[in-house]
Structure 1
């Protein structure tokens, strides 16, 4: 298509491709670091492109992820931007980058360090019992020349408050320590290289010979505690390795071809956990676009209640019961709304108000605007929240063999809320910003709420509530079967349409139908055959759904993993394996997943790394492994 301007034809603008050349590295190319208080993303060129201190949801100090002028911290060979290799140190969240220059080889190790607890944490105070080991509030980067000689460059340019406030630097005696301040935050840069200050950045250049070591660190700890020398820096890194490997040793990892994908996923989930409260953030970032150059950009640095049940399923299946208990205690601490209902999301500190604002001075990732801080969906009505909360309480109750006195009042309040509101329309699981509808998945999760509440009441020995809640569950079930099934026997998106919605795959995950029910099979196969692009699952067709936004979106990885689980449930095990293999081949080079996959280019879209994608991966792997083990014992 072209437009005519006088005698000249002007090509019409085409939608931005996920693979378009850009100064922004591909989303899947970033390395993820965590100290279970905050996280950092490391670009392939060795730059920290995203870091918020002291916590996941604090304002950023490095944010070239969202604007190329919003602050970064690079350590790498001078004049070289593409490394020879990048990998995680096995069993850890420590990133190892190997560089090859024309004169030599060098290895850089990056970690948000962990180690023995050094007294009370006054930087991010704990509401959970502090563990023996905790985050140091410290980023450590070590450098080793392994062959030849390499000229290394250090550039540290924090820009505080999401790129609004340039750093003011003060250089200490000795030229190896400098403090950067702005927007009420002070960071301390320490290194054994000589630092110079150039405007708003600190910079060092030093040539390392084979066998030589160097280090640098950035601290926001109490009194800005930092490694005093290379030996202390190496010990911090060693302690971090011991922490992660000891933690992974406690997980029950299956001896299966999916073992490494499961291990990397659970390391990502642990890395997205806020240790002081037990909350798990949905992702490490804000405003990475679901549509290239589009407006579907959200802040995911909060705890969603719908993630709760998938979090508990993954943690318990892998024998990580301590983390499951911590998360449930976070849920128990949360303040409900005035009507007793839980919000769909909370801050990692339990706060309820997540009012959304935009930072219009930031360019956004590859021009995707607006950049959002906060999430305006926090006060939406989403009736699936009751089922998510009560399912995880049932899981926790069965696992621990007891019903916590703290949790029973939540069971009562959420069951009563679900009873009261399940007939009402809502925004649905995808937080659509269009008109409320009678979404089938919301009704389904209301059924989950009442089914689980009745089962918990049975465990407690409260027969009256068990009977009453079971009756409501059956009423919801009958309503779904009457109004939520289309003419071919498949679950529809909502009562006023025959459009499909991937959230109805939850009917398989949560046991709404028996495994051999033809309506379950019809739903799963309709989604597999009609709601996919190149075999990957969409949430819904945007042209068929009023979600209040313009533009298309990528295929949702969680939906594709849900399809794997659902195919396994209905007995299509080979088809489930095939899709699982395709999905795992689309992991980043470091084994991580964002929220979405662009089906045309294979590029990742949305916030990164995404907890929900990794949780659904673990669920899908478990479904296949359990089915395969059952086949082994079949007669």
Structure 2
């Protein structure tokens, strides 16, 4: 088995509503956590090829491989070609099925793998090497064979109070072996044309299915994803069709976003992985398996844009409930079940992806002061309530509490959107979102005839506005900057100024800012860095995927549609062959870095597509009220005018 680290674009992802696995083009599952994606790993070879554990199925002979999704699904096919033949491996995580033989409530806590000979003969090596609790727990393996003449068998792995059951069919026998890193079960199977072999890994349950029943699971899972996507397309109108060149990217992004939505709570994780480095060999390695409040506005917009209305409503309820808590208790991020006690620790026994230490679990940013979260919540409510049941009294009480909180703290420094851990400053983006909280609060009071301390809010809103314009804009640079008291620091978040309607897109300060970002922060292909010349942290050699889509949106609002479309098209070229995007992109090599796949990148892609579609007047079958009030056909979904 290959023990080298793979590039991220060698991975596909599979999953269901609360679990995600990364599957390499070599047939190895290198990342999987059970029972949910935020729980501890059972396979973590992506973080340590020796100790992490994997479930690998790889041809014995030299081979070429390619991956593709079964059309319009999250079911992954890996095709391998050797000199002696061709075979296909189909990987899936099953969806809920109420009918027999799938009665077990934990039926989704599983991976199913189908090996099928397509031509000639292909022999596979199989390695089942679970490592519980991020490879911290001792693992034991036991082989259970079927009755004589029966082609069924099972391996039971135990550790840290958990169990994995590997069921298999076909001419496949396993042996146990062990070394200092723990035990593993290995076996071989040879497939001739037309032969099949099923394997399934089940967490904390054991349901033995026949090959015929496994086929039913596969067919049902394929049908589920296609029916779900059909519903999205019916709701989203012509968004998926406005340009055939973008259709595949939009469909894949919608399917990825669905994988990252926690079915039980509606929360959305930023990514299903931890500690994939922003820069190889450095220590900027974070756990992204949490829901960030700052993502709310863009997430809701994307969910509605692609027709995920049920998911949008559920997500809105999730962060709406958070907004009902005391403002000073609101955190920048939460666990996917709403957990607030999120510590951070390092796993020093793991080498890290490509030896980038440390490996972290948990995220200490949960305790940071980030003032943008208040505006994000108010904006999310502002954009959503008219599509639901309007603004409730409880909502209004929360809006009042959040706006009053902003009045008290907006002129204090904070950690900023990029979570600078040791450098609190007056970040322009934080001030902008404080302005948004008050501006949208005032508008909600007007729209829904609620009473509140509007005079105070209007006074503080104007004070924030004047403060940003005086201290956050540099006349010499002709651009907004990252934070106050700087002559050089630039930040991609300034692109949000027209998106949040702080200034109209045709304002000379907005246009100067966009031009400065293009000149100083953007590669020829349209990749945008998060910040440059910042006193808070050294410049990064990698670009941040979402920032390129913010640039697209700002250009569209400016009427610079050709530039926007060129950048959008160029950025899509950096996606993996399967259409997946990570957090960061190395502009010199095109290599994807950071946690993968990244919800923010795919959310940005979906939202930018609607900006472009509306600019090209290709959203004619969307309801008129969904195109924004007063902005005409060039406005994206949910966009509103604020104060000028």
Give the TM-score of the pair, scaled to structure 2.
0.89
Deviation of 1:538 after TM superposition, in Å, equals 0.7
- Contact 1:333 / 1:350 at 8 angstroms: preserved in 2? no
Determine the structure 2 residue equivalent to 1:205: 188
Q: Offset of 1:419 from its aligned partner?
A: 1.7
Is residue 2:482 matched to residue 1:493? yes
1:310 partnered with 2:298:
yes
Q: Aligned partners of 2:479, 2:518: CA distance in 1, in Å?
A: 12
The aligned residue for residue 519 of structure 1 is 509
- How much has 1:400 moved relative to structure 2? 2.0
1:272-351 mapped onto 2 (5 Å cutoff): 272-334=260-322, 340-351=328-339
Select the residue among 5, 10, 35 that pairs with 1:29: 10
Kindly indicate whether the alpha-carbon contact (under 8 Å) linking 1:292 and 1:368 is maintained by their aligned counterparts in 2.
yes
Q: Which moved more, 1:584-593 or 1:391-400?
A: 391-400
In structure 1, the residue matched to 2:611 is 623
Q: Which moved more, 1:323-332 or 1:623-632?
A: 623-632
Deviation at 1:456, TM superposition (A): 2.0
Secondary structure (helix, strand or coil) at the match of 1:352 reads coil
- Alpha-carbon deviations, 1:539-590, whole Å to 9, x = none? 112x53323xx77341111111111111111111111111111101111110
**Is the partner of 2:199 in helix, strand or coil?**
strand
**Within 2, Cα distance between the matches of 1:551 and 1:578?**
26
**1:138 partnered with 2:127:** no
Correspondence list, 1:422-433, <5 A: 422-433=410-421
- Among 89, 94, 97, the alignment partner of 2:75 is 94
1:537 aligns with 2:516: no
Partner residue of 2:399?
A: 411
Is residue 190 of structure 1 aligned with residue 170 of structure 2? no
Q: How do residues 55-74 of structure 1 correspond to structure 2 at under 5 angstroms?
A: 55-69=36-50, 70-74=52-56
Report the Cα offset of residue 115 of structure 1: 2.7
In the alignment, is residue 255 of structure 1 matched against residue 241 of structure 2?
A: yes
Which structure 2 residue ranges, 5 or more long, are not aligned? 147-151, 621-631, 634-644
Deviation at residue 91 of structure 1 after TM alignment: 1.2
Q: Measure, in 2, the Cα distance between the counterparts of 1:22 and 1:50.
A: 14
The alignment covers a number of residue pairs equal to 598
Query: Separation in 2 of the partners of 1:33 and 1:332?
Result: 29
Distance in 2 separating the partners of 1:615 and 1:339: 27
What secondary structure sits across from 1:433 in the alignment? coil
Question: What are the Cα deviations for residues 150-179 of structure 1, in whole angstroms up to 9, with x where unaligned?
Answer: 112221100111122342112223161111
Q: Which moved more, 1:453-462 or 1:25-34?
A: 453-462
Counterpart in the other structure of 2:57: 75
The superposition leaves residues 331-367 of structure 1 with CA deviations (integer Å, 9 ceiling, x where unpaired) of 2343877654421100001011211110111111111
8 Å Cα contact 1:177-1:195 kept in structure 2: no
Stretch of structure 1 that moved more, 230-239 or 63-72: 230-239
Map of 2:23 onto structure 1: 42
Give the C-alpha shift of residue 420 in structure 1.
Answer: 1.4
Once superposed, what is the RMSD of the aligned Cα atoms? 2.3
Q: Which residue of 2 aligns with 1:561?
A: 549
- Whether the 8 Å contact between 2:371 and 2:433 is mirrored in structure 1 is yes
Change (3 A) 1:122 1:330: farther
Where in structure 1 are there 5+ consecutive unaligned residues?
Answer: 1-20, 124-134
Taking the aligned partners of 2:327 and 2:454, their CA distance within structure 1 comes to: 22
Structure 1 length normalisation: TM-score?
Answer: 0.90
Question: 259-268 vs 604-613, which deviates more?
Answer: 259-268
